Amino acid sequence: METFTTKTFEIGELAGISPKTIEEHLKLYKGYVTNTNLILNKINELKNDPEKNAFVLGELQRRFGFEFDGMRNHEYYFASLSGGKKEINEGGDLHASIEKEWGNFENFLTHFKFVATTRGPGWSILYYDKMSDKLIISWVDEHQLGQLTGLSPVLCLDMWEHAYYLDYIPSEKKKYIEAFFANLNWEVVENNFKTSL
């Protein structure tokens, strides 16, 4: 049973992020999809005897969050680098919500980039919270630790070293962050925001 399929992305040549980095990173993403399906299949196979398989099922369920969120976070990430660089629509709803929350777009960028420099592997994520009608920036350790319940990802920046180590040494990760934003397709990000409303 294949529940999830590997998505394809139209990522052209990027400024500051090499084709080799994208090629290797996409292989890693494919692994998350494969492992998500493998875990779901194994859970399905063992679930009819939960008492006998309690330990294995428990460990599979723990691992599922890591693999699934690794898959999904990367889908947001790669989609935002697809279709070529596009600036944010300054007359759009996302820009207005950013200005409402941070005062201006530059304040938002400064905060988001600062969060992205958090030590250790993880993700800098901009979420939309429908219940409070607020945008929230958060750090997510690994893929699943720190995800905010009920919030929709709008923008995901992968800050694991695998996302940039072929192009930048760890002490240069700020250069990678700038390269990410230099290539960002804000139309994709704005669409994520619209669909979360």
| Structure confidence at residue 147 (pLDDT) | 86
With respect to residue 9, please indicate whether it lies within any of the assigned structural domains.
Answer: no
With respect to residue 11, please indicate whether it lies within any of the assigned structural domains.
Answer: no
With respect to residue 193, please indicate whether it lies within any of the assigned structural domains.
Answer: yes
Residue 83 belongs to domain spanning: 17-197
Least confident of 25-34, 50-59, 98-107: 50-59
* Tally of domains within the chain: 1
With respect to residue 141, please indicate whether it lies within any of the assigned structural domains.
Answer: yes
With respect to residue 5, please indicate whether it lies within any of the assigned structural domains.
Answer: no
159-195 tens-digit pLDDT: 999 999 999 999 999 999 999 999 999 999 999 999 9
Please measure the distance between the N-terminal and C-terminal CA atoms of the chain and give it in whole angstroms.
32
Q: Average per-residue pLDDT in the chain?
A: 96
Residue 13 binned pLDDT confidence (cut-offs 50, 70, 90):
very high
DSSP states of 124-182 as a string? Answer: EEEEEETTTTEEEEEEEETTTBTPPTTPEEEEEEE-SGGGTTTTS-GGGHHHHHHHHHH
* Distances from the Cα of 6 to the Cα of 17, 72, 78, 157, angstroms: 22, 10, 12, 19
With respect to residue 68, please indicate whether it lies within any of the assigned structural domains.
Answer: yes
| Structure confidence at residue 146 (pLDDT) | 81
Comparison of pLDDT for 1 and 81, the residue scoring more? 81
Please give the share of the chain, as a percent, with pLDDT higher than 90.
90
104-131 tens-digit pLDDT: 999 999 999 999 999 999 999 999 999 9
Look up residue 10 and give its DSSP letter: -
Comparison of pLDDT for 3 and 146, the residue scoring more? 3
- The model carries a pTM of 0.95
The domain spanning residue 138 has which CATH number? 3.55.40.20
Residue 1 binned pLDDT confidence (cut-offs 50, 70, 90):
low
Shortest CA distance to 76 belongs to which of 185, 197, 175?
185
With respect to residue 72, please indicate whether it lies within any of the assigned structural domains.
Answer: yes
With respect to residue 7, please indicate whether it lies within any of the assigned structural domains.
Answer: no
Q: What is the mean pLDDT of residues 139-150?
A: 87
| Structure confidence at residue 140 (pLDDT) | 96
Strand partners, 141: 122, 145
